[in-house]
Chains A and B, each alone.
Chain A
Amino acid sequence: MTYILQQGLNSLQLGSIYALIALGYTMVYGILTMINFAHGDLFMVGAFLCFLAATFLHLPFVPTLLIAMIGVALIGVVIERFAYKPLRQAPRVSAIITALGVGIFLENFTLVFAPYPQHVPTLIKNTTWVIGGVSVSSLQLIIIALSLVLMVLLDFIVRKTMVGMAMRAISWDKTIVPLMGIPLNLVISATFAIGTSLGGAAGVMYALAFPVIDPYMGIMIGWKAFIAAVVGGIGNIRGAMIGGFILGGVEILVAAFLPSTYRDFVAFTLLLILLIFRPYGILGKPRPQKV
């Protein structure tokens, strides 16, 4: 029982990081039907901004987090404006290749300044409590709680605010949106800003939990979070959250029973099987017919 609780807690921690990254993929897909394959690398940039702010500016946790989120959001907006926007009418494959290119650029740009893996200083004093045989660390709790707060906030923005409504309207039919008096490009920029800032926050949390970072760290984690978004139903916000937690859970579960080299293999096989039965993901729906 304590073993299950322990693994459950570990799954929540990993899952919340995947979920935050998955949200970025799903939000951009929702409004532009485009996969931002540079998103995993923006997560990496978030981790490096955390490293920079903590190491050179000696900032505490909260300002570091804000710098990483805002910094990544700005980069995300600039990428959309200059790399993706000119390709909105172009075939999807052009946008995908551009996104992959942007990702490679970000990796190599970071590599110039950080040719070796970097060590992120401790920002949160890590206390560990043992409660009923389960060891709980303050870092773990902060990561989980902060992720939940960000997700609840996002859910509120998307469901209740005008910007959120406009985002949903764009995902339905962006040609009509300007006729409502809504500046389409502004809402698309806002979507990129919010989606990528969540990736940046995930980068900070990851860097605190696993403090050795390198410019290629975003590739594998980015792919995994992308798959989490697809499993949840790409384009669906709550789906991305669920997908992230499922992936975290499956990974921890597999690692608990099998040699760790099998982890990704078994985890992804399970997810692919799930997609055979629910091809649109857990919460995804086939797109309703538009007249």
Chain B
Amino acid sequence: MSQGNVLLSIRDLTISYGNIMAVKGISFDVYEGEIVTLIGANGAGKSSTLRGVSGLIPYKGVITFQGQDMKSIPADKIVAMGIAQVPEGRGIFGNLTVLENLKLATWSRKDKHEFPKDYQRVFDIFPRLSERQGQLGGTLSGGEQQMLAVGRALMSRGKMMLLDEPSMGLAPVLVREIFSVLREINQAGTTILLVEQNANMALRIASRGYVLETGVIAHTGTGQKLLGDPRVKEAYLGG
């Protein structure tokens, strides 16, 4: 988890929906090997930020990945460049089997000979998916769907993984399981940008965090520092 170069750099990112400005000129960097978390209340602009990075919505400002300007690169090419996203609400294809969901995420990869190893890795991390390979995604439980969403992101083999509230709707045991998997994935070399409402858990595994309030960055610091910050405590950690 040694810190390297800047992998993702965001400068003056502004995202608007019609007249509503959801993200108001934020800037931050994610270094290679880090887990960075973006926390904040409902409607703070967390998902919008991720959607901008993955090329799903237009934005003002500059986003670079490995030094390359990402503006006007279509979303599917951004995945091929190495950014995998676990979207809000998991985005599992309910009419496809577990295996088909995983397979689809390999679309932009050329190294076919590596696939078996990667499937094995996903099934090692989530044995429950292995048992359910032929089951339709729509019939999985919420927790299993979340595992599948993370598994899919692993199959696209990004250098970086963006996750939008992976703890949403999960029982505490499962939340802990998912977070320990994220730490594992990170230790194996994937940089992580984690959006969470569960600030407590997120800050504990993150090297650094940013607190977003109505579209601007209100606080920033190491995970430890933010966990101890009285203002953060009061607003996001239940006092």
Which residues of A are in contact with B by a Cβ distance under 8 Å? 162, 165-166, 168-169, 171-173, 175-176, 178-184, 288, 290-291
Contact between chains at A172 and B79 (CB < 8 Å): no
Contact between chains at A165 and B94 (CB < 8 Å): no
In the complex, what distance in Å separates the CA atom of A165 from the CA atom of B91? 15
Contact of A182 among B85, B94, B95, B104 (CB under 8 A): B104
Contact between chains at A180 and B95 (CB < 8 Å): no
Q: Which residue of A lies closest to B75 (CB)?
A: A178
In the complex, what distance in Å separates the CA atom of A139 from the CA atom of B24? 68
Map CB proximity to A onto B113-141 as digits: 1 under 8 Å, 0 otherwise.
00000000000000000000000001000
Q: 20 A-B Cβ contacts within 8 A?
A: A162-B103, A162-B104, A162-B107, A168-B95, A169-B93, A172-B94, A178-B74, A178-B79, A179-B54, A179-B56, A179-B91, A180-B76, A180-B105, A180-B107, A181-B79, A181-B107, A181-B156, A182-B108, A183-B76, A288-B94
Contact between chains at A182 and B103 (CB < 8 Å): no
Q: Which residues of A contact B96 (CB under 8 A)?
A: 165, 168-169, 172
Map CB proximity to A onto B78-89 as digits: 1 under 8 Å, 0 otherwise.
011000010101
State the Cβ distance, B135 to closest chain A Cβ, in Å. Answer: 14
Q: Which residues of B contact A165 (CB under 8 A)?
A: 96, 100, 103-104
State the Cβ distance, B196 to closest chain A Cβ, in Å. Answer: 19
Does B152 make an interface contact (CB < 8 A)?
yes
Contact between chains at B79 and A176 (CB < 8 Å): no
In the complex, what distance in Å separates the CA atom of A260 from the CA atom of B55? 58
Contact between chains at B105 and A181 (CB < 8 Å): yes
* Contact A176 to B87, CB < 8 A, known contacts A169-B93, A181-B80, A181-B156: yes
Map CB proximity to A onto B169-182 as digits: 1 under 8 Å, 0 otherwise.
00000000000000
Interface size on B, residues (CB 8 A): 26
In the complex, what distance in Å separates the CA atom of A180 from the CA atom of B106? 8
* Contact A176 to B91, CB < 8 A, known contacts A168-B96, A169-B104: yes
Q: Which residues of A contact B56 (CB under 8 A)?
A: 175, 178-179
Residue among B56, B74, B76, B89 facing the most chain A CB atoms (10 A cut-off): B76
Contact between chains at A180 and B156 (CB < 8 Å): yes
* Contact A166 to B94, CB < 8 A, known contacts A178-B56, A181-B80: no
Beyond A173-B93, A184-B76, list 10 extra A-B contacts (CB 8 Å). A162-B104, A165-B96, A168-B96, A173-B91, A179-B56, A179-B85, A180-B156, A181-B80, A181-B105, A290-B94
Contact between chains at A179 and B107 (CB < 8 Å): no
In the complex, what distance in Å separates the CA atom of A290 from the CA atom of B93? 10
Contact between chains at B103 and A178 (CB < 8 Å): no
Q: Which residues of A contact B75 (CB under 8 A)?
A: 178-179
Residue among A169, A181, A184 facing the most chain B CB atoms (10 A cut-off): A181
Q: Which residue of A lies closest to B85 (CB)?
A: A179
In the complex, what distance in Å separates the CA atom of A173 from the CA atom of B56? 14
Contact of B107 among A171, A175, A182, A291 (CB under 8 A): A182
State the Cβ distance, A181 to closest chain B Cβ, in Å. Answer: 3
